Amino acid sequence: MKNKRFGICYNPNIKQSSEVKEKLFALLSGYGINAEILDIDRLKTGYDFVFVIGGDGTILKCARFYSKDATPIFGVNLGRLGFLSQACVADIQNAVDKILKGEFVVQDRIMLQSGSYIALNDFVIKGSSTGRTSRFLIKINGRPVCDYLADGIIVSTPTGSTAYGLSAGGPVVVPDLNAFIIVPICPHTLTARPLVIPDSEEISISSGESRKEYVISTDGQEFFETASEIKIKKSEYCAKLALLDNADFYSILRSKLFWGTSPAKICR
């Protein structure tokens, strides 16, 4: 790993980010590695490995950008939950040691695509009229499946199942499953349930004959509007997340979401 090109991406809008990137730069320099520092708004390609300092939003933006070059990224959390990150500030020394020794794995995470947009977590589709429900006619491979009157629709990857989809009542899906999750947001019905489908399927969403305009968000960061049918499928790109060799999805659920922990135990 010492002969590889390293980048350090940081988010100057996050407290401590500048301080931590200097610490990481110094650690890598101690190993004879001259890493290049990158601003989250001025990303560049040409690296073999990129450290990302910030919260999940910073990691999501880097994951989309570097997926097209199949560059592994490693998250150092400065946000709140940090579900996509592998280390906190106190763990940086240990993380750098492990990475330079090759004691990590690179996990491919499937991504979504709609037109020229790609997403690691999810696409969220809502009507353009704020505060009003909209109609969402969902087809899978051209066949009608659901007809919702709802505040919106979330189409997520397994990686994104612990994000907005979870808050909207969707299931937690293990990241290495090849699946998509469709979750209605506040549907005006008692029978709507989230739907898990193979990632080989193509999802289309329309408003029927009314051609109502929709607002679509990509990982909650990029927004675009359309009045035509929205088509979502598996992207040709995969996010490359570097995970330390002792990483375990279930332990992350327990430690960050308190999964399966009784309220009494949390309060202690």
Out of 39, 41, 48, 56, the active site residue is 56
User: Structure pTM?
Assistant: 0.91
The token duo for 194 is: 């989230």
Residue 154 structural domain: 113-236
- 11 and 75 together in one domain: yes
**CB–CB of 114/64 below 8 Å?**
no
Whole-number pLDDT of residue 175: 92
- 170 and 204 together in one domain: yes
| Higher local confidence (pLDDT), 73 or 192 | 73
- 117 and 221 together in one domain: yes
Residue 126 inside a domain? The answer is yes
Which segment of 66-70, 74-78, 121-125 scores lowest on mean pLDDT? 74-78
Average pLDDT of the chain, as a whole number = 90
Residue 250 inside a domain? The answer is no
Whole-number pLDDT of residue 241: 95
Is 56 among the catalytic positions?
Answer: yes
Mean pLDDT of 11-22: 90
Which segment of 158-167, 175-184, 188-197, 208-217 scores lowest on mean pLDDT? 208-217
Residue 267 inside a domain? The answer is no
- 97 and 121 together in one domain: no
The token duo for 165 is: 């989809």
The token duo for 161 is: 């199942």
Whole-number pLDDT of residue 22: 94
Phi, psi (deg, nearest 5) at residue 51: -85, 135
Mean pLDDT of 201-230: 89
Pairing of strands 152-156, 122-127: antiparallel
